[in-house]
Structure 1
Amino acid sequence: ALTCEVVGRKLFSTSFKGIDELGGFVLAISAAIGASYAMLQRSHTRVDVFLVRFSRPVQRFLNMLAMVTFACFASFAAWRGIAVLLETIEFKSSATNLEQPLWIPQLAWVVGLVLLAIIACAYAIHALILFKRKAPELNAWYGPASAQDELEAELAELKARELNSKLETQVGEK
């Protein structure tokens, strides 16, 4: 739909009603849900250039602090998202062009934010417990993946794809 909107604007000087609003809804919802998925996959960007230069205990502290800080941010985002949703419902707000009730896309957005906050808080609690116990595995759980970890994950994925390809070839030959 967005591609049609861009082509329509450039070639025919016309615009489709509401496409930009739909694009905004999709972006907000996918960002909230995608952030939750990225949290589960340890895919959020971490600047670890300096982290590896610190001692293991300092790394443990910084990794725990990162989880607690992220949980605070995610909780704040969910709290404010809920406030926006409740205000939208109270005033019966609707999208300008589409005249669609805004609470529908906002509800999906808030669900993603709340999911992110739940995951982040669970991770923060776990990181705090590991930190209090002085558990060395805190860095393995919550530290950024090392280049070696990423290489091993990529090699395992490559091996799985090769195996899957061989199985598909064998099934196709039968």
Structure 2
Amino acid sequence: MFNESLQGVDEYGGYALATTASLGLAYCFYEHAHIRIDLVVRKLPKMLGRVFAVFAVAAFGTVIGLLAIEAVRLTEESYMFGAFSNTPLRTPIYYPQAVWAAGLCLFFVAIALRLLRLLQAAMQRDSDSIGDMLGEAESDDGHEATRLQGIE
């Protein structure tokens, strides 16, 4: 526009996208804003549907845990080798990688805490808390329904 290059804007924009996305994952998890396809689960008896939902959270946590471990390893490796971006700005790449890895670790902690709270609620037989933590809400006709985020 001004006949000048804005070098680095796309580089730092990419870093900002990756870090804010990873940091926002835990928040979206607690707000039940992640996409969940539950057409079949909604047809199951309530208890069986909840078992499948808890299993899905545990599987999700396992995948995110492995991703977080590898993100931390990548960050450590970049730090050890003194890696820089291959752009004119020569940004030490471990800075954005560290924030990205921290966001994934935070997401894993959020899932682990949710699983612990679900276990505690199950031991106390607190059905309402379990339903809240799994994102269930009552529909107008009294049937269990998945909460629609942003329309509440």
Which TM-score band applies after superposition, normalised by the shorter structure?
Answer: 0.7 to 0.9
Aligned residue number for residue 99 of structure 2: 108
Give how far 1:140 is off: 3.1
* Cα distance in 2 for residues equivalent to 1:70 and 1:113: 12
Alpha-carbon distance between aligned partners in 2 of 1:16 and 1:145, rounded to the nearest angstrom: 48
1:158 maps to which residue?
none
Deviation at 1:133, TM superposition (A): 5.9
Partner of 2:143: none
Say whether 1:89 aligns with 2:79.
Answer: yes
Percent same amino acid at aligned positions?
Answer: 22
CA shift, 1:147, in A, is: 5.7
* Corresponding residue for residue 60 of structure 1: 50
Greater Rg over alpha carbons, structure: 1
Q: Give me the whole-angstrom Cα distance separating, in 2, the residues matched to 1:78 and 1:152.
A: 26
**Is this contact kept in 2: 1:60–1:136, CA < 8 A?**
no
Matched, 1:73 2:58: no
Q: Give the conservation status (yes or no) of the 8 Å contact 1:85–1:103.
A: yes
Answer 1 or 2: which has greater helix percent: 1
Structure 2 residue ranges without an equivalent (≥5): 141-145
Normalised by the length of structure 2, the TM-score is: 0.80
- Give the root-mean-square deviation of aligned CA atoms: 2.8
- Runs (4+) of structure 1 exceeding 3 A deviation are 128-135, 143-155
TM-score after normalising by structure 1: 0.71
Please state how far the C-alpha of 1:152 moved relative to its aligned partner. 10
Contact 1:88/1:103 (<8 A) preserved: yes
Distance 2:148 2:37 in 1: 18
